[in-house]
């Protein structure tokens, strides 16, 4: 999939007028084509804090499995900025006068798209979801909240002239999808908060961009077309609704996201590499004092993917264990995948994450005694953004452009082929040492038999892995 053009995706004409483009900076993106940065947005882009996003890979360590996945948060942020602008301009052209959309709204939505990921850490979600929980002792931290701090810091550090109300609203839009804030944002023009980070039904331009961009980078076919929902959307009752005929298009958005999670983001080898690097980062944490910077924007912006090379090239004895783990990653001496199982549907609601201790307690008595530090477990959750719920149940549609009524559409009225369950939980177990693969595999099978009365995986650990020393 190359740059978007008339042959692939119709080029939008909703965006900036020619007068706007004369004062904008043109950047060519390999997904959206020409992107035009307005003067205020450009002031944020041309700061070292935003430019840091060039050094954060969008998909973290996935590039070690999918070589093309080297695109950055910088590219994605520009893409979301552009799509946010296209969306609000399209709504403004169609319904601007009745909705009272003004330049303040347009600027705010575009800035929210641009800055929504400025608080991400090294290797993106791995830093936040895998590393920090190991070292923070249950203290909450999110890249969205860090983005808010970074925005304030950038404005102050670079003396950016921005209306305080714009700045405040931009920050509200960035956290609009979180459970803690979505229910409290009950203001006028609520639909504006659904464009970048949609806590109402999960349809937002952040997903539009990364689904297409990530698929392209990994060499995968993407069947979702974001031009369809953009062309047919309409605000009814302060909510962005979609034409009923696009029901399956919206389903494809969520199924494409789930497919990416299964085949790319949670690929078994990707998770093995992530588990190894998280171990390396955890062992290096005290020496590098990473935690001292995660709440201080002045220090945090200096933290990026180069931390891996920093550890790898250091001669410090305190970093030897971490260095050895990274060397194993480089030499492809990875934690060995032993097996996986998908949690049965009737167990999903009460399932608790499996731990190395659970596997140890199920090991066979014999010459090998497994320890917690010999085993790594990855508990993977794949859903369609709403847990076990069908996200399409939260979307409102309209019949045609003359109709002012919005309504949900039950799956059964569209197709009986749509899934009844919208979530998978997969447990993968890895041996950190090649010689223990057989013992770990047997213990994992015993664990499944004890808890579920069966081995739920559909493939066994290959004999060549079991016998490798």
Residues carrying an active site annotation? 143
Structure-token match 């490798």, residue found: 468
CA dist., res. 42 & res. 9, Å (int): 26
What does each C-alpha distance from 259 to 209, 216, 218 come to in angstroms?
15, 14, 13
CA atoms of 95 and 14, how far apart (whole Å): 13
The angle formed by the CA atoms of residues 460, 461 and 467, to the nearest 5 degrees, is 140
Q: Cα separations (Å) of 392 from 245, 249, 427? A: 13, 11, 27
Contacts of 389 (CB under 8 A, 6+ apart): 422
Distance between start and end Cα atoms, the chain: 43
- Rounded to an integer, what distance in angstroms lies between the CA atom of residue 315 and that of residue 323? 9
d(CA 387, CA 385): 6
Which residues lie closer than 8 Å to 300 by C-beta, 6 or more apart?
Answer: 119, 121, 146, 149, 150, 293, 294
What DSSP string runs through 238-301?
A: TEEEEEGGGHHHHHHHHHHHHHHIIIIIT-HHHHHHHHHHHHHHHHHHHHHTGGGGTT-HHHHT
What distance in Å separates the CA atoms of residue 268 and residue 65, rounded to the nearest whole number?
10
For 61, 126, 325, 330, the CA distances from 278, given in Å and listed in that order, are: 11, 8, 10, 15
Report the alpha-carbon distance of residue 455 to residue 341 in Å, rounded: 8
Cα distances (angstroms) measured from residue 239 to each of 126, 184, 191, 200, 245: 33, 16, 5, 9, 18
């Amino acid at each position: 999939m190359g740059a978007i053009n008339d042959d692939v995706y119709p080029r939008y004409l909703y965006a900036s007028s020619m007068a706007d483009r004369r004062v904008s900076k043109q950047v060519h993106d390999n997904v959206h084509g020409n992107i035009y940065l307005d003067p205020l947005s450009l002031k944020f882009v041309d700061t070292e804090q935003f430019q840091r996003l060039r050094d954060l890979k969008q998909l973290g360590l996935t590039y070690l499995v999918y070589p093309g996945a080297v695109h950055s948060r910088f590219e994605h942020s520009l893409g979301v900025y552009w799509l946010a602008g296209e969306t609000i301009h399209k709504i403004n052209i169609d319904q601007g006068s009745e909705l009272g959309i003004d330049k303040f709204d347009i600027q705010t939505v575009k800035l929210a798209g641009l800055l929504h990921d400025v608080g991400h850490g090294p290797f993106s979600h791995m830093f936040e979801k895998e590393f920090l929980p190991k070292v923070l002792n249950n203290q909450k931290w999110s890249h969205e909240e860090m983005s808010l701090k970074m925005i304030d810091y950038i404005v102050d550090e670079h003396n950016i002239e921005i209306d305080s109300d714009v700045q405040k609203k931009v920050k509200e839009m960035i956290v609009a999808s979180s459970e803690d804030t979505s229910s409290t944002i009950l203001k006028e023009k609520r639909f504006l908060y659904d464009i970048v980070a949609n806590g109402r039904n999960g349809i937002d331009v952040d997903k539009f961009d990364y689904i297409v961009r990530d698929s392209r980078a990994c060499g995968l076919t993407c069947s979702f077309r974001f031009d369809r929902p953009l062309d047919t959307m309409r605000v009814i009752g302060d909510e962005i609704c979609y034409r009923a005929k696009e029901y399956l298009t919206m389903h494809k958005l969520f199924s494409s996201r789930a497919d990416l999670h299964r085949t790319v983001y949670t690929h078994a080898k990707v998770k093995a590499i992530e588990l190894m690097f998280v171990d390396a980062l955890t062992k290096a944490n005290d020496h590098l004092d990473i935690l001292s910077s995660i709440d201080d924007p002045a220090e945090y912006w200096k933290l990026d993917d180069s931390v891996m090379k920093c550890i790898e090239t250091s001669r410090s004895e305190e970093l030897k264990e971490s260095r050895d783990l990274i060397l194993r990653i480089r030499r492809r001496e990875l934690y060995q995948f032993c097996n996986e199982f998908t949690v049965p549907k009737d167990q999903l609601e009460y399932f608790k994450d499996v731990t190395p201790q659970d596997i140890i307690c199920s090991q066979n008595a014999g010459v090998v005694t497994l320890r917690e530090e010999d085993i790594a477990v990855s508990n993977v959750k794949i859903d369609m953004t709403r847990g076990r719920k069908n996200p399409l149940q939260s979307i409102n549609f309209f019949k045609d452009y003359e109709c002012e009524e919005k309504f949900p559409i039950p799956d059964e009225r569209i197709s009986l082929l749509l899934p009844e369950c919208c979530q998978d939980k997969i447990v993968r177990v890895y041996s950190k040492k090649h010689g223990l693969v057989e013992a770990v595999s047997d213990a994992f099978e015993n664990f499944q038999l004890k808890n579920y009365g069966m081995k739920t995986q559909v493939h066994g650990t290959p004999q060549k892995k079991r016998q490798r020393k």
